[in-house]
Structure formats: structure tokens, C-alpha cells
Structure 1
Amino acid sequence: MKKYILILSIFIFLTSCKHEKPVMHKKDAPTRVKPKSFGYHFEKSKSWLASNDSSKILIVLAANRTDRANIAKMDSIIVPKDLTGDIAYYLPFPFEVAALNDVSKIILFSYATQTFATYEYGYLIRTGPTNMGRKADKTPTGLFFTNWKAEKTTSTFNDEWDLKWNFNVANKLGVGWHQYELPGYPASHSCLRLQERDAKYLYDWADEWILQDKQTVKLKGTPLIIFGSYDFDAPKPWLKLVNRPKALNFSENTIEKEVKPFLTKILEEQQKRENSK
């Protein structure tokens, strides 16, 4: 009788396990410091730079979609009233997107807000400013996958331009992200410009493609979605944050709608890569 009960227990355990959904490995949500208040005001760039220490500048650079070299060239800039929070609180991406829970890595670039974000299993891991394609050379939108990378390359548009931490995402179009100056508006020849700290991070974080031969991609790299559009004839959209501090924020549902058309393809390519290990 005891033997029968043992066999029955094992059978019930095994059959019940078949119906359980496999649990994906998921990182813990990053711990972030929240600012005590939200709000922005205008200041003269040179005055602010002269009276503030460098520990606060990364947030101000991100808010103005610029870098250290270019912020000094600006007249007025927007400055958060409280600079004590983590940088993610000053940029528009949501901290968690449930629709991405099964996606191990993904990068999102927003044309409208000139920002990027990386997610791992649905959690926001990193975010920062970007300057994308100018009006005459718009950055293509849609789903891409990271291809090849190089610590330093020469621009195909101008051989005097050195591109650091370059990661190609559209091989035939010659589009990728890399470090280059951020004047604070879309100014590139279709590439995704980043501060060096962000370009190097993404360079190390994303996966390269794996080739079967020179003409055939065996495994795709990290998925990347470029979405939205930029109104080149309007004032910089982040200036409206002075009157409405959360005017550019994306809801979780908004990001889900952008990702949904590509989710099946992303998971298929992810599974191929995992099966190859």
C-alpha cells in the first residue's frame, strides 16, 4: 500500500509540473533614490555652470540632451529644482514594463524625446540622452538588432570624423550608435549619438551578431526599437517640462504598444541564441 501511495504521489507531482509555466530568470529591480520634489526652471547656462559642482551636471546634461562641451555654448537651459534623485527620475521611460518580462535584453530609442533606455526582463537598467538624425537625414525607425562593433571607426560620411564605441544596428544603411558631440537637438547623419559614458556602456552590454559565413547571419544580436518622430519645426520638446514636469513621460502602456508588434520576433531570436549555448 505504501508503495502504491509513493508511486501515485510521484505521478501527481510529475503531471502537475507539466502545466507550470517555466520561470524566467529575472534580475531584482534596481534601487534608486527618488528626488524630494519634481519641477524645472530656466537658468543661464554659464551662470549655472559657474556656481555648481560637477556632481550635479550629469542630470542637467541629460535634461538638456547635451554633453559637457556643448552645454557651455547654450544660452538658457532647463534645470531640475531638486537634483538629489537618480537620473532615471528625470527622463521619460517607465521603471518597469510587464510586456518585456520575458525579454532578457532590449534597447529603446525615442525620437520624440531624444532619450534611450535599456531593459532586462522588464526592468529599466539604464537611460540617458541621445541626439538622433537631423531633418535631412532622419534615423530609421522600427525593430533592429545589434550587428558588429568597433571601439573606434571612421565615419563613412566624413573621413575626418572618428566615432568611438561604435555599434552598428543597420548594416546596409550604416546606422549605429556611437559617442559624438550632443548639441542638444537631432543633428546626426542618421546615427544615434550618445555621451561617451553611455556609448561605452551599451558597447559592453549589448551582444554582437554571430555569422555563419560572410553573407549569412546565424544569430542576431540584442534587439533595439527606434520609435516615434521629432517635430523639427517646433521648440525643443523638453522645454515644456518647466510648465509640466512630467509632460514627456511614457506610460507602461505606451511602451507596450511600441513593443507589441515586434515581441514575437524578439522572443524567437532570443530563443535561438539561448539554444545555441
Structure 2
Amino acid sequence: MEKLIIVFGIIALTLCSCKNENNKIQSEKNTTAKKNPARIKPKDVSYTLENAKEWLKNHKDVKDLSVVLAVNRTDKNNFAKLDSVVIPKDLSGDVVFYLPFPLEVTSLQAVDKIILFSYSTQTFGIYENGILMRSGPTNMGRKKDPTPTGLFFTNWKAEETTSTFNDEWNLKWNFNVENKKGVGFHQYELPGYPASHSCMRLQEDDAKFLYNWADQWVLENDENIKFYGTPVIVFGTYNFDAPKPWLQLVNDPKALNISEDEIKEIIAPYLNKIIHEQEKRKIGEQSKIEVAKTS
């Protein structure tokens, strides 16, 4: 009888343990599901080459235009100046499905926030714990003034400022990432190719979103960096002597896709530093909260 009780006890503990583990796994899945934005996936992701002015005459839908602008790495004012443009056959999906960043990157699950800029595809992607939260077009540094690559952190920001290259250039929603060289991301015209003096130009909606989403650095004595801002990785190269890369999409819709493995390899040299600085900031912010509670 005692043996039977022991056996039943073991079975009950095992079942309880399994149930708890299943609940834990389900909870993690639910957390991921809540963070992953609801999006409409197009039935067909393929492209044609069309005349920009002719396409504009027949298409007035704002949502359709936003997708087309992103695919051609441009803005509304510059779109009509282009000759041949790449047009998705099915415009019903959300913009992320027409851009190269993967929707999830498991190697970024421990990273609360990160911004990735791809030089070769002229796009950006922002991730929260491995989930793609937003993606869009960018026009980065021209051949003469390339955007530096590697790991950076967002520093200071300003809703409106002037360029260090020309004080007549007005930069809106500017966020600096390389203080000594004056490199940052901000709103400015997107002609549809790398044209900046090393900064990452963005459409205004994207620039404003990143301005509010990313964190500023925290300085000590207005001089030393106490806590870094949001990590930013700029990677890849752009072939200035070749046709625009996105023209390849007409023949191969997956030509520019960036895989999870690629991103994993790109972030590997920087991951420890990113996590270290992230934890430092968290501890500092928690300490600040505790001090506020006791005061």
C-alpha cells in the first residue's frame, strides 16, 4: 500500500511539473504573441517595373503609395522625378513584407531595443526582444561621404537642428549616434539612392517614431557617459557603380532578403557589449526609482 502511495505521489509530482513547464512555455509564447504586431501579409510578393508618373496618375491610395515609396527608397516629393520604379503586384500587405528584414530574430531576444541599418539594401529595422517592430527606407551616405559602419549608441536628440555641413540644411527629428563626426538619423529628402553626407536620412513618420522610441544617453557631470542610449548597428556596403539594388526584385522578389543567420553573424561581435550596457542602464534606472521611493 505504501509503495502504491509513493508511486502515485511520484506520478502526481511529474504531472504537476509537466503542467507547470507547459504553462511556462505557453506564457512565453503568449508574451511573444502580444509583442508581435498584427499585420496583413500580401498573397503575392512579386514586382513589375513601371513609369513613376504613369503609376501616380492611376493610384491615389495613401497606403499603396507608402508601400511603393518604401520599396523605391524614396519620398513623395522625389517619387515623380524617378523614371522606372519597382511596383509590387499586390499592395494589400503591410510595408514590412516588402522590405528585407526578418520578422523575428531569435539571437536578439535578450536585447530590449536595437536599430539596424543595412547599407546594401538602404533600409532600417528596429527590434524589441527579437521582434521586428518597424522597418522602412533610408538614404545613407553618398560615395564621397559614406556612413560609418559598426556599433553605435543613440546620444542626444533635437526636434529640429541644422546640419554641420551646411547651416542652411534644416534637420527634423534628429538623433545623433556618432558625436565627434556628427552622424545621426533624421528626416530629410530621399532621392532614392545614398545621397547624404554620412547621416541616415528617413521619411518624416519614421524619423519621428525613432525619435520618440529610442533612448538618449545619460551623462555624468555633462561630460562622461554614465549610460549609453539605444544600440545602433550599421552594416553592409553599397555598390555605387551598379544599378539600384531593389531593381533586382523584379526578377527575384527575395534578392535583398536579410536572413536571421546574417543578423546573428553581424551582431555577434557586439552582443556582449550591448547586453552589458543594457543591464547597467536597467540597474541605474532601478536605483533611481528606489531612491525616489525612499525620499
- Structures share fold, TM-score greater than 0.5: yes
- Residue 185 of structure 2 corresponds to residue 177 of structure 1: yes
Secondary structure (helix, strand or coil) at the match of 1:261 reads: coil
Q: In structure 1, what residue type is equivalent to 2:37?
A: P
1:100 aligns with 2:136: no
1:276 is paired with a residue whose SS is helix
Query: Match for 2:256: what amino acid?
Result: L
Q: How does 1:1-277 map to 2 (within 5 A)?
A: 28-53=35-60, 54-277=62-285
- What stretches of structure 1 move > 3 A for 4+ residues in a row? none
The share of aligned pairs that are identical, in percent, is 62
Deviation at 1:32, TM superposition (A): 1.2
- Cα deviation for residue 185 of structure 1 reads 0.3
Instruction: Output the CA distance in 2 between the equivalents of 1:28 and 1:272.
Output: 24
3-state SS of paired residue (1:169): strand
Secondary structure, in 3 states, of the residue corresponding to 1:147? coil
Q: Alignment length, in residue pairs?
A: 257
1:53-102 residue CA offsets vs partner (Å, 9 max, x unmatched): 12310000000000000001111101000000010000000000000001
Q: Which amino acid aligns with 1:99?
A: S
| CA deviation after TM superposition for structure 1 residue 262, in Å | 0.4
Cα distance in 1 between the residues matched to 2:187 and 2:38: 27
Give the gaps of 5 or more residues in structure 2: 1-12, 18-23, 286-295
RMSD: 1.5
Q: Give 3-state SS (helix, strand or coil) of 1:182's partner.
A: coil
Query: Normalized against structure 1, the TM-score is what?
Result: 0.90
Aligned to 1:176, the other structure's residue is in SS state strand
Partner SS state of residue 87, structure 2: strand
CA distance in 2, matches of 1:217, 1:148: 11
With normalisation by structure 2, the TM-score equals 0.85
Secondary structure of the equivalent of 1:96? coil
TM-superposed CA distance for 1:28, in Å, is 2.4
> SS of the residue aligned with 1:275?
helix
Tell me how far 1:214 sits from its aligned partner: 2.4
Question: What secondary structure does 2:176 align onto?
Answer: strand
Deviations 1:6-36 (A, max 9, x none): xxx9xxx9xxxxxx9xx8x765222211101
CA distance in 2, matches of 1:83, 1:274: 41
Q: Which residue of 2 aligns with 1:16?
A: none
Quick check: which has more Rg, 1 or 2? Answer: 2
State the distance in 2 between where 1:221 and 1:43 align: 42
Partner secondary structure for residue 241 of structure 1:
helix
Question: What amino acid is aligned across from residue 262 of structure 1 in structure 2?
Answer: Y
Moved more, 85-94 or 53-62: 53-62
SS in 2 for 1:255: helix
Report how far residue 38 of structure 1 moved: 1.4
- Which one has the bigger helix percentage? 2
Aligned partners of 1:158 and 1:171: how far apart in 2? 17
Q: Distance in 2 between matches of 1:202 and 1:79?
A: 26
